[in-house]
Structure 1
């Protein structure tokens, strides 16, 4: 079996097999083809180990006008058994049936299944509501916006991807403030735990801050943050991410609380500086001594972001609470749109 990356394989599969098949059996069918949805290859992060499950001849084929069922049946009937030594039909972790894995749907139905927003809000003129944005996770958004669109004959998926490309600015500011709130609540505890001789506890708290700072860096760059497995790798690839990665590694590898505390403070200062660079208000320095103790606390960055919010409905949200993925990191919650809505008050 070849070692070709998944995105390259999907592109060739569409161009050499699926597109010609549609031309033969459904000439004139307006459609879009892409590699969207789940899978490390959608983000371009797949490797040899990725191929042990849910990897292979996968595509997203988007057709409008209720033709999805007919096209799916056509592909199941006509696709070859193997192509380039890869099976065209296989079971997945979410479906034990051995069948072809070109997912066929309308653009709005497909996107809705990923992001948990009603199809009419994705494809129509109705606005996407605040609660829709609050329940949305970065990983869910990336499953619609990150992978390549190979062909878009209808324009529907491109329009949806444009709508989901980033948070509205006031919700972005709200989410940035929530990340700073989380950091401010426990930044001093990296030192406090260490001073009590609990280096393990200090390390655990520091690691939580590293994860929050990586998420925050994505928000500042108007990028969606992927789920935990790829969060650090994605953060390092952001502009200026190399410096943040070095500070984060120093914090994670530190053997004593004073070094760990200094490294976390350095990482927070880097992200606060980035905040100013992207045009948002910031503080320099962003950290300060915590009362009379030998610990580091955060200055009033959450309040600065709250003052930047102009939409009354967003200003009315509880400051510092944030989006579903900021409130919980429980996978079973974050992959379920209904549970995410309940989490943010829907």
Structure 2
């Protein structure tokens, strides 16, 4: 089966690119397979073809040429063939029921604003915390087949990962989430076995998300979360302990496995040269259960100079760390009002 990326590349090389060279030879533009879709991440399969899969491209212009967006859209609708390699060029999608071509024409900044949910400024600390991994991947993960714009390359490069101090703040918030580890043991010992298992699963997810951060990799949304996790350099060390966490019926075995996974994360953090205590796991007061030592997040937060990060609650982190509603996180327009939470924290 030809992948969506391979199909998009051929579509640009053989059809869309030649058309643009003929009709607008001096127009700076970029073309690639960006935005939504399993194929952008390289994970599409036979099942992916039942909706929104097909001859899709993103055509991006600099702001100075924004007035040409309607012209190019109409040109493509008029000049593109009916089919390419057996696939219809004009088809309906879940967001556009019209059978039209699906070469999406935007400016670079307009496309970024549509995907990220706001006008991104790399110097805006709070803006970094409003990003979701999936939104960033919709701008950065897919291939670009041609680019003569001034802004797409710098935009994608700036979104590669958090700036250093923002990264330390977000990692500290991830350790605060993992400090719920003793609640798993407490639930198991107080006759709440289902809740203990639920907590174990939540902590396993927190471990995986912290692994993405420590590997400086953006996490996609739930459908492809583990597939992307498997690509991380520490995934092999974590998969065994996490499998035990999710399958063992013995809460003591689950806790041991969680601690093993946490120590893999701490070792990665130490290898990265980030401030990390010699042993980040210790007893929880006088109880038999263990927890993340408070020195772990404290070491990351110590010495931060960014005034925004110094004023925000240390447990908050990025929006994906305090909100897990997939319908809100997946819609840029619904994420935008969440910025008021950071504004209120900063003004408090």
Q: CA deviation at 1:54?
A: 1.0
1:130 Cα offset (Å)? 1.8
Alignment-derived partner of residue 132 in structure 1: 127
Question: Following the alignment from structure 2 to structure 1, what is the Cα–Cα distance between the partners of residues 202 and 139?
Answer: 28
- Give how far 1:117 is off: 2.8
The aligned counterpart of 1:344 is 342
User: For 1:264 and 1:233, how far apart are their aligned partners in 2?
Assistant: 21
Q: Does structure 2 conserve the Cα–Cα contact (< 8 Å) formed by 1:273 and 1:284?
A: no
What pairs with 1:95-174 in structure 2 (closer than 5 Å)?
95-118=96-119, 122=121, 128-174=123-169
Selected match of 2:178 from 183, 206, 215? 183
Does the CA contact (< 8 Å) of 1:236 and 1:244 recur in 2? Answer: no
Alignment map for 1:2-151 (pairs within 5 Å): 3-64=1-62, 65-66=65-66, 67-118=68-119, 122=121, 128-151=123-146
Q: What are the superposed Cα offsets for residues 117-165 of structure 1, whole Å, 9 maximum, x if unpaired? A: 32xx55xxxx531221111111111110111111101242111111211
1:250 maps to which of 244, 253, 271: 244
Report 1:264-279 matches (<5 A): 264-279=258-273
- Contact conserved, 2:118 with 2:336, CA < 8 A, in 1? no
8 Å CA contact 1:135, 1:323 repeated in 2: yes
User: 2-side partners of 1:34 and 1:181: how far apart?
Assistant: 39
User: CA deviation digits over 1:294-328, x for unaligned, max 9?
Assistant: 21211121111111422232112111111111110
Structure 1 residue corresponding to 2:280, chosen from 270, 277, 286 = 286
SS at 1:97's partner residue? coil
Normalising by structure 2, we get a TM-score of: 0.93
CA distance in 1, matches of 2:262, 2:275: 15
Structure 1 regions of 5+ residues with no counterpart? none
Corresponding residue for residue 309 of structure 1? 304
For 2:15 and 2:310, locate their aligned partners in 1 and report how far apart those are by CA, in whole Å: 51
TM-superposed deviation, 1:181? 0.4
Residue of structure 1 aligned with 2:219, choices 213, 218, 225: 225
Post-superposition shift, 1:255?
Answer: 1.5
Q: CA RMSD in A?
A: 1.5
Alignment partners' CA distance in 2, 1:20 and 1:255 = 61
Kindly indicate whether the alpha-carbon contact (under 8 Å) linking 2:29 and 2:149 is maintained by their aligned counterparts in 1: yes
Higher mean alpha-carbon deviation, 272-281 vs 216-225, is at 216-225
The alpha carbon displacement at 1:343 in A equals 4.1
Point out where structure 2 has 5 or more consecutive residues left out of the alignment.
Answer: none
1:112/1:7 CA distance change after superposition, 3 Å: same
Report how many aligned residue pairs link the two structures: 337
| CA pair 343-53 structure 1, distance change in 2 beyond 3 A | farther
> Which residue does 1:205 correspond to in 2?
199
